[in-house]
Copies of this chain bind each other. A is one copy, B any other.
Amino acid sequence: MAENKTAYEPLTVESIPVRLGVVEAVTRHLGSETETWQADEVGDGNLNLVFLVKSPKSTLIVKQALPYVRLVGDSWPLPLSRAFFENSTLVRQAERDPGSVPEVYHFDEEQAIIIMEFFTPHAILRKKLIAGEKVTDLAETLGNFCARTAFRGSDLFMATADKKADAAIYLGNSELMAITENLIFTDPYFDAELNNHTEGLEPLVATLRGDIEMKTAVQEMLLKFSSNAETLLHGDLHSGSVMCTDDESKVIDPEFGFYGPMGFDIGMLVSNYLMSYFSQPGHRNDADLAEYQNWVLELIEGTYTAFEAEFTHLWNTERTGILFPRTMFEDQGHSADGALTKVLQHIFTDALGICGIEMHRRLLSLAHNADFEEIEDTAIRAPLEARNLMMGRELIRQRGEIANIHALCDMARKFNEETFL
């Protein structure tokens, strides 16, 4: 039995028992005694309604897209189809890296509702990083996630006609891609209306906007973002899109799913780890600071190392697509290891470019990170943000020259000692 088909209408805590009590996928989990259900709106993101719906039997997440950007209001319309793309991406991620994302119990395209698995006692990773908490196996889980989704969604693995048909579907998510194109790749580098930044950063903003070579590199990366449909990506893989216990991590919220460069997700993730790293002096005292900052750098190294190890494993065991076919390498007695090295270098270069740009936009454009925003004293915050901005610039400019993830972490240590304001 499915919900009655009616025109789109936002859910409320009051209407949920009536509207979802007729959905078999829901009653299977919560039971059909809807009077025992308790619904709470818990959305803290920028875009959607999110409800936690509990019964004595179980708990579910009910996520519904709004026809506008929640953060801004109905002056900024946004299509309901993003729920379709979120659902589609969750389904593909579950196939490509089983257990990594919430299981979808029910999807209603017309109502833009996804009903899915509730993770407990998981908390948003960003909050844990701000609180100085560690998560066991986080690096391996997310490194594997990025490798498996990147590889298995690409022409290295898929039948290319299937991949092209899927890429065609995702080009329909153009309005969400446009948010990324504007807020991430463009707005930070001119005086855009929605921009804001911490007082005191003005000289560095001027430095960034005055760096024509760097801006050119940013736009070279935008050319890749908007055109290079290498694989299906999460599209918004920051530490707010990860939920963890002390030893388990899950990825959520892929409504920005799109086909793009294989280095995009891992680059954005590393970027958000670096922002955690640079913001730590605003959150803890000297006794814990160095040790936790070191843990964050180890997390970065561990994540990227796991990514490359898993990508290598898949290259050697699942390379069934049109790219780098065995007929041209192994079947002629030729190793494809050199080709893998080139592909990994290509991914790393793109990842570093994305990483640096994300480090800029989170401080200069519309949607800032709690890592820095929760440092209330701007006299403390601004100098930390300055390190982050300047390292972002270096990553964009030097993205083709940085040897490996260890060199990136060494660079972070160096910037963490510098004073720019």
Contacts and interface: CB of A to CB of B under 8 A. Distances in A.
| Chain A contact residues: helix, strand, loop or mixed | helix
A226 B155 contact: yes
Given A165-B171, A165-B174, A178-B160, A322 B226 contact: yes
A380 interface: no
A342 B220 contact: yes
Interface in A295-351: 322-325, 327-329, 331-332, 334-335, 338-339, 342-343, 346
B226 A186 contact: no
Interface stretch (A108-116, A208-216, A275-283, A391-399): A208-216
B190 A328 contact: yes
A323 B216 contact: no
Contact of A219 (B220, B223, B230, B339): B339
A190 B223 contact: no
Interface string A200-224: 0000000001101101101110110
Indicate how many identical chains form the complex: 2
A167 interface: yes
Contacts of A167: 168, 171
Interface residues of A, number: 53
Contacts of A101: none
A229 interface: yes
Given A174-B164, A178-B160, A327 B186 contact: yes
A46 interface: no
Nearest to A339: B216
A182 B323 CA distance: 10
B228 A227 contact: yes
A37 to B, nearest CB: 40
A230 B230 contact: no
Interface string A156-193: 00001100110111011011011001100010011010
B322 A186 contact: yes
Contacts of A189: 328
Interface in A216-247: 216, 218-220, 222-223, 226-230
Given A165-B171, A172-B168, A178-B161, A223 B334 contact: no
20 contacts: A155-B226, A164-B172, A165-B172, A167-B168, A168-B169, A168-B172, A171-B171, A181-B322, A209-B332, A215-B334, A216-B324, A216-B339, A219-B323, A219-B328, A220-B343, A222-B322, A222-B323, A223-B323, A228-B228, A229-B229
